[in-house]
Amino acid sequence: MNLTHTFAHALMMASTAQLILRVSFFYLSILFTAVTQLFSDQIRRACGLSCDEKTLLFVGRFTHKKGLQKLESLARQHPTWTWLCIGDGEIRPEDWRLPNVRVLPSLPQAELRQYYIAADIFVLPSVGEGFPLAAQEALSCGLPVALDRSTARAFADAPIVQFDAENVENISTKLEDVLSDSAQIQSLRAQSVEYAKRWNWDETALRYETIFFGDSDQFQASLT
């Protein structure tokens, strides 16, 4: 393939990536945005949640890979925590018969947003994740996020609570530390909002411009 064809192919790929990124960033910025604490409390009440209870959110497939068995253990260990499990799959959290576990089916994105706003923290106790969309949505809504250390690496510099997903006691300790400190929760909310602001086209375009044009060797390498 000659240089002209390679360059044309690179431009086509860049245009496609640009469209995908624009749609993704529009989706995150419009549907998933943070709100004031007052509005958050109003949404909690609308969702049937007390403003005083600790609410932990899971959004995703109800499977072993996603760590549902760990959520069950945590729910049993901490009966005063309320768990919102939204999704569907081979595991049925309803069968745990725990009064502190509420289960909802998969929801449209516009409805899902209110639960990201209402919760105190989003928890994903799975391993082998790439760049989970639910965690991106949570951060965009200003919701603190707790992930396995391996998954958290995809979110460079993000204000994420990190745990060892293979160790339920470690997850429990990390969550206890955060949920017992309201000041830390508020700090994580503010940091999450700031972090999510980088998911916009201007910031991403600037990074790609630096990669492609800031270093001529890198630019030439991108064409081969």
Exposed/middle/buried for 10, CB within 10 Å: 0-12, 13-18, 19+?
middle
Question: Which residues make Cβ contacts (< 8 Å) with residue 156, sequence separation at least 6?
Answer: none
Two tokens at 108?
Answer: 């449209």
Q: What is the pLDDT of residues 20-78, one digit of tens each?
A: 444 444 444 444 454 455 456 666 766 677 777 899 999 999 999 999 999 999 999 99
Note the pLDDT of residue 43.
67
What pTM did the predictor assign? 0.75
> What does the domain layout of the chain look like in residue ranges?
3-30+200-222, 43-196
Asked whether the predicted pLDDT for residue 93 surpasses 60, the reply is yes
The domain over range 43-196 is classified in CATH as 3.40.50.2000: yes
Q: What is the pLDDT of residues 7-27, one digit of tens each?
A: 444 444 445 544 444 444 444
Note the pLDDT of residue 130.
85
Note the pLDDT of residue 164.
97
**Is residue 112 a contact partner of residue 87, using CB atoms and an 8 Å limit?**
no
Q: What is the pLDDT of residues 193-210, one digit of tens each?
A: 899 887 766 666 666 667
Tell me the sheet residues that pair with 199.
Answer: none
Note the pLDDT of residue 27.
46
